[in-house]
A and B are shown apart, each in its own frame.
Chain A
């Protein structure tokens, strides 16, 4: 059978099994096994389990459950509300400060918890009602939270980035650092948009007040005394210290990324026990079982995706496709645009985890040949997948918002979110034009990689 025929058959069977509605993990595993049975030596079926075990038994991959545990511990405590309340008090003087406070709270929480949906529900459950009480339009309030939540997979520790680092064989520490600059860029863009939009809504509220005397809540001014502001701090500080401490442990050379995961999870559990009194078995067990549910599902998909990629590479499908892409002789930037478009389209159907593991062997060699820095590309790919979390038709964060604010219609949420999707693509373009946004920090902290670009 020709290479092309095998490739098409492989793609067809994959599509059929995935679209059948079978769990992604088992669908990928079944595709791998079927092709092993028909196209590979008989003995290869005997080694599938060893294959999966050896791929999975990597401490970098297995730090994922611990990062999830850290996120679940913080996500289930009141840390989100406290963080939000403190930022609100401190930002109350700035016009549009409430919106900015929400963006900042999302970013900080995302960096601590490392999870988009958890960030949306933790900050949004306090932030959305507060913003609406202050007269923000429902779509705007929802958009801020949905977009802010996505910062979770860009700021370290990001599970998506762990997988990318493994798939692309890049340094995880470097990739984490590379996400910080773009993460801050997005925070800045989101906050700037929040101010602009606030001003417009504020002007409209004044105009409405002048014409028919209905005073919008937006016109109320609330003030916090310094005492109130200072009193907010003690509950927030421990978590900020956790965030900084974990970063110092990682980049000060005290701990490997996986040790950081263990340390972070343990510290998060200790903190919620001390600060919020969450230490009884009945309080901690739900955190642990939610973590297990999430991480088991994820690790099964990862293990089976790796088996799937192994078969794809054994049959030379990935190499042939990569060579075919290289042979197209696309210009450098056209190639990048085409690949990012592919990621966007796959984002409609697949979780980031599967996108990375299934496409890495195909898209990374051509990108490398074209002379792109793979760390830099990892950041771009992450932002694009992040946009997939909030763009219709299937952005998860949209539905998280719908859950916490059921009276905002999905249409309003989507309209509120779209400007943020545009901002994300603006960020992608900026990072293409100025790669230093992503690469400067890792180069400064860890030294430049000779010959990386």
Chain B
């Protein structure tokens, strides 16, 4: 099980890693998990999906990297053009917003695949192994329900924006379907990733139950 945060006190310490820079603190095991991104307890039937997601996540991280660089360039160019030509333009901010929102949503599934969305896992140390295995199923189920709903509502939002040709309210007015599409794709990948994790958690709970018998 690759728990990001590793020997940090679970959850709580890792939460504070939110202050940035914490990623470099990951133990070796979590980095290995980050490379494959596949939970070893994944049921065989879902392995093809897990592998496809691992591949998709690698591609999305690639996009995310390019988006980060592009956003830095766009914002820098905004400073430079304002200084050189004394002209203020509004496309840079919105382009950077689209790039960074896109990077965030597209990489959501990647972060989930290494269980990198931190939570307060202090309770897990208080529970028996069996109760904890059941807790994990409940947690994955809750997350899946939420993300699936969010993904579905993203697609309906995208559809609406496409049909009504919605744009942002600025004078440049780029179409809103672009960020909505990125959000829908990302949340769908995330929901699928949670399906795989839920199945793996069920599998692990079965193994724990069998071990106790």
Interface pair B19/A116, CB less than 8 Å apart: yes
Chain A 267-314 interface residues, beta-carbon cutoff 8 Å to B = 269, 285, 288-301, 303
Chain B 1-53 interface residues, beta-carbon cutoff 8 Å to A = 7-9, 11-25, 34
With A30-B146, A289-B65, A349-B12 known as contacts, the answer to whether A118 contacts B20 (CB < 8 A) is yes
Does A262 touch B at the CB level, under 8 Å? yes
Does A33 touch B at the CB level, under 8 Å? yes
Chain A 333-366 interface residues, beta-carbon cutoff 8 Å to B = 348-353
Does A408 touch B at the CB level, under 8 Å? no
Could you say which residues of chain A place their CB within 8 Å of the CB of B149? 33, 45, 48
Chain B residue at smallest Cβ distance from A150: B19
Does B123 touch A at the CB level, under 8 Å? yes
Does A166 touch B at the CB level, under 8 Å? no
Could you say which residues of chain B place their CB within 8 Å of the CB of A294? 17-18, 20-23
Does A66 touch B at the CB level, under 8 Å? yes
With A289-B65, A389-B19 known as contacts, the answer to whether A265 contacts B153 (CB < 8 A) is no
Query: How far is B147's CA from A27's CA once the two chains are assembled, in angstroms?
Result: 11
Does A254 touch B at the CB level, under 8 Å? yes
With A45-B153, A297-B116 known as contacts, the answer to whether A115 contacts B103 (CB < 8 A) is no
Could you say which residues of chain B place their CB within 8 Å of the CB of A65? 68, 71, 100, 103-104
Could you say which residues of chain A place their CB within 8 Å of the CB of B24? 72, 75-76, 117-118, 121, 290
Interface pair A66/B150, CB less than 8 Å apart: no
Interface pair B65/A288, CB less than 8 Å apart: yes
A399 contact from B7, B104, B138, Cβ within 8 A = B7
Interface pair B107/A292, CB less than 8 Å apart: yes
Interface pair B75/A297, CB less than 8 Å apart: no
Could you say which residues of chain B place their CB within 8 Å of the CB of A30? 142-143, 145-146
Does A189 touch B at the CB level, under 8 Å? no
Could you say which residues of chain B place their CB within 8 Å of the CB of A400? 25
Query: How far is B114's CA from A262's CA once the two chains are assembled, in angstroms?
Result: 27
Could you say which residues of chain A place their CB within 8 Å of the CB of B142? 17, 20, 22, 26-27, 30
- Distance in angstroms from B23 CB to nearest chain A CB is 4
Chain B residue at smallest Cβ distance from A37: B149
Interface pair B101/A254, CB less than 8 Å apart: no
Query: How far is B101's CA from A21's CA once the two chains are assembled, in angstroms?
Result: 26
Interface pair B21/A21, CB less than 8 Å apart: no
Give the segment of A52-60, A81-89, A191-199 that binds chain B. Answer: A52-60
Interface pair B68/A293, CB less than 8 Å apart: no
Give the segment of A152-160, A176-184, A210-218, A225-233 that binds chain B. Answer: A152-160
Interface pair A117/B65, CB less than 8 Å apart: no
Does A172 touch B at the CB level, under 8 Å? no
Interface pair B76/A21, CB less than 8 Å apart: no
**26 A-B pairs in the complex with CB atoms less than 8 angstroms apart:** A19-B122, A21-B11, A21-B122, A22-B119, A24-B118, A25-B117, A26-B142, A45-B153, A49-B183, A57-B179, A66-B68, A71-B20, A117-B20, A117-B22, A118-B24, A159-B20, A255-B79, A259-B76, A261-B75, A262-B96, A292-B65, A294-B22, A296-B110, A297-B18, A303-B104, A399-B7
Given contacts A255-B79, A296-B104, 16 further A-B contacts (CB under 8 A): A20-B142, A21-B120, A22-B119, A26-B142, A33-B149, A49-B180, A115-B22, A116-B19, A159-B19, A294-B17, A295-B104, A297-B18, A300-B104, A350-B15, A351-B15, A394-B16
